[in-house]
Amino acid sequence: MRFSSYNIFTAPLSNGEHILLNGLTGLMDTIDEEAYEVVSSYAHEDVLPSEIMDKIEVIREHFLERGYLTELTQDEEAAKAEALAFEMNSLRDPDQWAVVLVPFMGCNYRCTYCFEKEGGYPSKVMTKEQVDAVFKIIKDKIEPGENITLYGGEPLAKENRDIIEYILEKCEEIDNTCFAVTNGHDLEHYMDLLGSKKISSLQITVDGPREIHNSRRIALDRESSYDKIMKNIETALKDTDVIVKMRVNLDKRNEPQFMDLLEDLDRRGFLNDPSFMVNAYAVVGAGDLTLVNTELKKLEEAVEQEYPQLEYDITGRTADLDDHLFPVVYLNQKYPLKVAACGADSLLRVFAPDGTIYPCWSCVGGTEDVIGTYDETGSIQWNPEPKEEWKRKMMGYKKNCIRCRFAFICGGGCIRPALPNEESANMYDCDYYNNRFEDQLVKYTDSFLAAGNNTSRNTKQRVSVGNEISADNY
């Protein structure tokens, strides 16, 4: 008998106890210092010594039931994990999609790091006939009340107004709303279409204060994109009930100015608006310029000290950890496990105006990842080879992931295709889970315990910004 290879254990909570979470069962307990010393000291032993077995006699059966102890060898337990991944995957409904529409492939920006610029930003716009075809295809594939994502290019360019209105009319017919990933430059042309019944949420990217942002996210007309965006966000928050999430793409070149951006957002009153969020994300694939999690941790600590009203993880790595932990801590439910970090392996469908279907919005415009085509009659022709290739990105196929104790917590990391300099993109995910997840687990569990068993904790409103596509939980 030995301790499971999938045990996750933490530094002490404020009360002196430690968290013990098993990555195969999703079950979590708190243990005292003595039990922690045993679990951590003998975590890698193939067979527990008899004196240790005697020492844990009182908790042995409980540990076996929870999965913390196992009679399986490491290889047998890894085989069990692989079988579990395929079992979980079989329970995901292939007929329930997360849907993304690309109404316009063109863009009014030329961002320095954009992966789509190699395709030349074709100016093709979706026709009403194509929109009709897409809604015919998806009518039984998406639940009422879910968001349909608008992506690009730039979906909310001013010249797209007519087709966006038509898409919203079709959404209303099936009781859905939209989430738009937009640069926000032409947002003034869409104010009457923003709100809970139409475009309910926006993701707008701002990469730093004025000079930094304008050097990275360049408007074709050379107008200051920063000033235009800020004015549009201010109007949207004042005049509509739309939710705005600002995304900041950080690398070592603009990270030092992130606090300057927050200072400006605070001066404008955005940081205290319940409909506004700001999250920073490391640009992956940037080589030596990529920020590692220790650097992001320092940034988070600086933000927490300067802006305590931001009661959430500014880097967005734990956007759902809070929600996951509450039922685990108070209701003894399982931590939700997953077999993919998002739905791109089988559940995400991206419809482009050239009649192509992609499995992921990060490969729009590329020919090698087209998994199918659709026509104006609503017929689909699937491309079996790339479609099957994406299915095999499910975590159960990843031999390098399946033995990781965080495998079913992480879901195997980003499964998008390789972009330039992104061959080691998932090292960022591995870095986070191996070096920061346990600390975050302590932080959020402590916050729950400190607040008491109270579902109405006084935390800043957390918002689910549309189709930030996540994998189904098991």
Question: Is the Cβ–Cβ distance between 118 and 359 less than 8 Å?
Answer: no
Is 300 contained in some domain? yes
4 against 332, higher pLDDT:
4
Residue that the structure tokens 């319940």 belong to: 274
Examine residue 141 and state whether it is found in any structural domain, yes or no: yes
* Boundaries of domain holding 253: 72-474
Task: For residue 318, name the pLDDT band (cuts at 50, 70, 90).
Answer: low
Residue at 330 is within a domain: yes
Q: Count how many domains the chain has.
A: 1
**Mean pLDDT confidence for 359-378:** 91
Structure confidence by residue, pLDDT tens digits, 329-358: 777 889 999 999 888 998 999 999 999 999
Whole-prediction pTM: 0.88
Is 10 inside a domain boundary? no
Has residue 102 been placed in a domain? Answer: yes
* Residue 425 confidence (pLDDT) above 70: no
**Alpha carbon of 220 to those of 105, 116, 185, 189: distances in Å?**
15, 15, 11, 18
**pLDDT greater than 60 at residue 146:** yes
Count CA within 13 A, CB hemisphere, residue 109.
Answer: 31
Instruction: Kindly tell me if the per-residue pLDDT of 291 is higher than 70.
Output: yes
The pLDDT of residue 372: 97
Residue 13 within any structural domain of the chain: no
Residues in CB range of 369: below 8 A, 6 or more apart: 358, 359, 360, 363, 386, 390, 417
The Cα 54–Cα 32 span in angstroms is 17
* Cis bond upstream, residue 153 (ω within 30): yes
Q: For strands 177-182 and 147-150, give the pairing.
A: parallel
In a domain, 44, yes or no: no
**pLDDT (average), residues 79-95:** 95
Phi-psi region of 332 (alpha: psi -120 to 50; beta: other; left: phi over 0): left
Contact 26, 334 (CB under 8 A): yes
Q: Quickly count: other Cβ atoms within 10 Å of residue 175's Cβ.
A: 11
Q: Burial level of 419, CB count in 10 A (0-12/13-18/19+)? A: middle
Q: For the domain that residue 297 is a member of, what is the CATH number?
A: 3.20.20.70
pLDDT-based confidence at residue 444 (cuts at 50, 70, 90):
confident
Give domain status of residue 456, yes or no: yes
